[in-house]
Amino acid sequence: MTPYFYENPGIFKINGFSAPEGLRRPDIRITLDTQEDYDLLSRVFQRLYPEKKDFNAYDIVKLFEEKPSLELINKNVVQKEIYDTV
């Protein structure tokens, strides 16, 4: 779906932004493209949702710091390339 946005700049405006320092974790893959991604997101949800239904990105980073083995679930997934527009 994402390439469609880049291929149609007359329809969509695309802006880039940088995450705040505490959220810059390129080692953490939080996206849903593969079964491994789904498995990871399910684990994150199972850990965080029962205690805090409105958990956020800071909570996810903290969870990864506490449970670094979570990174292994989708570590071997290669990120799809997107167009560089920024």
- At 86 the pLDDT is 44
Measured CA distances, 27 to 6, 10, 53, 74, 85 (Å) = 25, 33, 25, 10, 22
Q: Write down the pTM of the prediction.
A: 0.75
Give residue-wise pLDDT tens across range 16-63.
Answer: 888 899 899 988 989 898 999 999 999 999 999 999 999 999 999 999
Return all residues near 47 (Cβ < 8 A) that are at least 6 apart: 63, 67
